[in-house]
Amino acid sequence: MQVIYDWFLAFYERTGINLSFIYDNFDRARIIKGFWLTIELSVITIALSIVVGVIGAWLKGARSGWVRHSVDAFISIFRNTPPLVQIYFFYFGLGFMLPRVMDPISGTMAPMVTNFQWAVLSLSLFAGAFNIEIFRSGMEAVPRAMVEAADSLGYTRSQIYWHVVLPLAFRNCLPALGNNLVNLVKTTNLAYAIAVPEMMYAAKQIWSDSSNVREMMIFLLFAYVFLVAILVYGLNWLERALRIPGYGQMGGR
Amino acid sequence: MTQPDRGFVSLRDVHKTFGAHKVINGISLDVAKGETICIIGPSGSGKSTLIRCINALVPVDRGSIHLDGIEVNTPKLDKLALRRRVGIVFQQYNLFPHKTALENIMMAPITVLKQDRAEVEARARALLKKVRLAGKEGAYPGELSGGQQQRVAIARSLAMRPDVMLFDEVTAALDPETKKDVLTTIQDLARDGMTCLVVTHEMGFAREVSNRVYFTEGGLIVEHAPPAEFFSNPQDPRTREFLSQVL
């Protein structure tokens, strides 16, 4: 490894292209940590946003008008405001209203909810609001007759949802869901605004110290291309794995 | 609760309106246990609605519906208890497309009745054999023809061990050859003593298989009689006109 680091240092001295995040131990540690934190943010928010979507879509079909309108209000708020405003609202608006608690490790008073947790919460709700509408449209594409058949066999409302509607709706909405999740991964870098040291934040710290804005920007661009490519590959795999022979394709019979 | 004067399935003065449209206008009928009846009539005469009232898929406005003592038209109805006893087969099969033929048959007994998986599977395989689809266990609905899907749908209903089977124009979407397979399956069931209510446009089937034929028009039963009598000597002019069009 030392050979590679030395080469990049020499490369910098020869060409002026400063890839400090490769040859410098401190910068390298920062960018690796940022990279993993971006992955962590993405994985957790993807999972939570899907949970929000599934539960929200289920509640949107509730008998109680009060429940349905609450879900609509939630969607309006989170879909119609910028995600950066949402993150600031949670961190500065709500975060400062909560009491501070004793941190057992440092022995000092610390916020009850950390900036990372606020970022997870607000990004999950943001993407979850879109997921509710996506799952809902997937559910509406499930033929009414399918529900009638399950109903006639004695299924309860929740059994119909879990065994019949959701498996079909999920397949119906996979392309739209994929788009939203790609957007979510790209939006995780807004956690930068509340000092969560994810990839973008780490890159910014490195270019402040090493004055290599140009190099870090190029790196960031390709790092996100790489991350999103992995997600898209996974989604395509899932779509193939869930494909039903003879269903939803041309010439299925 | 026994109803000595009534049939196994019995409807009394049933009414149903959709908006301003009166679909069922006071229908009464009785079906004895093990009997097969056919309901025929022009499109829009309320046949499908009538049959869907019996398993409470369509709530009625007025009148009473009894199934072996269970009153259907009451807010206290235990839908699960009713639907365990009544199977229904639809015109468009309505199989679950993400499950194989075998799984389609197994799902409801496992999910709804919480029955033992191995026992249900053995029964499902036997049912597939009974509807002459052995070998199609692993096929998805999209890989089966319309007639095959319809027979899987019949097997799916039978897996719940119902006492009554409702058939809602089950051959209307099928081509003549596959139609025959489905009708034979229903005929076998009727012969085995299943109580069947069949809405159909198949006059040949009504004549051969049913114990009684009901002719409906405008939400009313115009005439009913055993098939030999019904087809050879229809009483009402409306029945005669309908039969002259379809036969």
Q: What is the ipTM of this complex?
A: 0.88
- Residues of chain A contacting residue B108, judged by C-beta atoms under 8 Å apart: 150, 153-155
Cα A245 to Cα A252: distance, rounded to the nearest angstrom: 7
- Residues of chain B contacting residue A159, judged by C-beta atoms under 8 Å apart: 111-112
Size of interface A-B (CB pairs under 8 A): 74
**Tell me, what's the pLDDT at B190?**
92
The pTM of the full predicted model, rounded to 2 decimals, is: 0.81
- Residues of chain A contacting residue B154, judged by C-beta atoms under 8 Å apart: none
Q: Which among B108, B142, B156 has the least Cβ separation from residue A154?
A: B108
Q: Which among A151, A152, A245 has the least Cβ separation from residue B140?
A: A245
Could you write out the DSSP letters of every residue in B164-216? EEEEESTTTTS-HHHHHHHHHHHHHHHHTT-EEEEE-S-HHHHHHH-SEEEEE
Kindly determine whether residue B140 and residue A253, on different chains, have CB atoms separated by under 8 Å.
no
Average pLDDT over residues B125-143: 93
Domains detected in chain A: 37-206 (1.10.3720.10)
- Residues of chain B contacting residue A244, judged by C-beta atoms under 8 Å apart: 97-98, 140, 142
Best to test chain A binding among B80, B98, B106 (most A CBs inside 10 Å) = B98
The residue that leads in pLDDT, A251 or B115, is B115
Ramachandran region of residue B56, left (φ > 0), alpha (ψ -120 to 50) or beta?
left
**Tell me, what's the pLDDT at A33?**
95
In tens, the pLDDT along A143-154 reads 999 999 999 999
**Tell me, what's the pLDDT at A250?**
41
Residue among B58, B142, B56, B43 nearest B101 (CA): B142
Return the minimum-mean-pLDDT range out of A94-108, B27-41, B188-202, B217-231.
A94-108
Cα B113 to Cα B109: distance, rounded to the nearest angstrom: 5
A251 in contact with B at a CB cutoff of 8 Å?
no
pLDDT of B69 strictly over 90: no
B157 in contact with A at a CB cutoff of 8 Å?
yes
Average pLDDT over residues B159-171: 94
Return the minimum-mean-pLDDT range out of A38-42, A98-102, A165-169, A245-249.
A245-249
Indicate the class that CATH gives domain B9-93+164-246: alpha beta
Share of chain A above pLDDT 70, in %: 98
Cα A116 to Cα B84: distance, rounded to the nearest angstrom: 51
In tens, the pLDDT along B182-208 reads 999 999 999 999 999 999 999 999 999
Q: Are strands B212-217 and B220-225 parallel, antiparallel or unpaired?
A: antiparallel
Kindly determine whether residue A168 and residue B112, on different chains, have CB atoms separated by under 8 Å.
no
B59 in contact with A at a CB cutoff of 8 Å?
no
Give the DSSP H/E element, type plus range, for residue A191: none
The rounded mean pLDDT for chain B is 91
Q: Which residues pair with B27 in a beta bridge?
A: B14
Q: Which among B87, B111, B157 has the least Cβ separation from residue A159?
A: B111
In tens, the pLDDT along A68-112 reads 999 999 999 999 999 999 999 999 999 888 888 887 777 788 888
Which residues, numbered 115 to 174 in chain A, qualify as contacts with chain B under a Cβ-Cβ cut-off of 8 Å?
143, 145-146, 148-156, 159, 163-164, 167-168, 171
Best to test chain B binding among A144, A148, A151, A153 (most B CBs inside 10 Å) = A153
Average pLDDT over residues A24-41: 94
Average pLDDT over residues A179-189: 95
pLDDT band at A248 (very low <50, low <70, confident <90, very high): low
Kindly determine whether residue B140 and residue A247, on different chains, have CB atoms separated by under 8 Å.
yes
**Tell me, what's the pLDDT at B2?**
45
A57 in contact with B at a CB cutoff of 8 Å?
no
**Tell me, what's the pLDDT at A49?**
97
- Residues of chain A contacting residue B141, judged by C-beta atoms under 8 Å apart: 246-247
The rounded mean pLDDT for chain A is 91
B151 SS3 class: helix
Q: Which among A146, A151, A245 has the least Cβ separation from residue B96?
A: A146
pLDDT band at B150 (very low <50, low <70, confident <90, very high): very high
**Tell me, what's the pLDDT at A251?**
39
The residue that leads in pLDDT, A13 or B177, is A13
Kindly determine whether residue B97 and residue A253, on different chains, have CB atoms separated by under 8 Å.
no
Contact (CB, 8 A) for B182 and B147 = yes
Average pLDDT over residues A158-163: 91
- Tell me which amino acid residue A22 is: I
**Tell me, what's the pLDDT at A108?**
80
Which residues, numbered 94 to 133 in chain B, qualify as contacts with chain A under a Cβ-Cβ cut-off of 8 Å?
94-98, 107-108, 111-113
Kindly determine whether residue B97 and residue A247, on different chains, have CB atoms separated by under 8 Å.
yes
pLDDT of B5 strictly over 80: no
**Tell me, what's the pLDDT at A253?**
36
Closest residue on chain A to B55 (Cα)? A152
**Tell me, what's the pLDDT at A123?**
97
Residue among A43, A47, A46, A24 nearest A35 (CA): A43
**Tell me, what's the pLDDT at B135?**
92
pLDDT band at B6 (very low <50, low <70, confident <90, very high): low
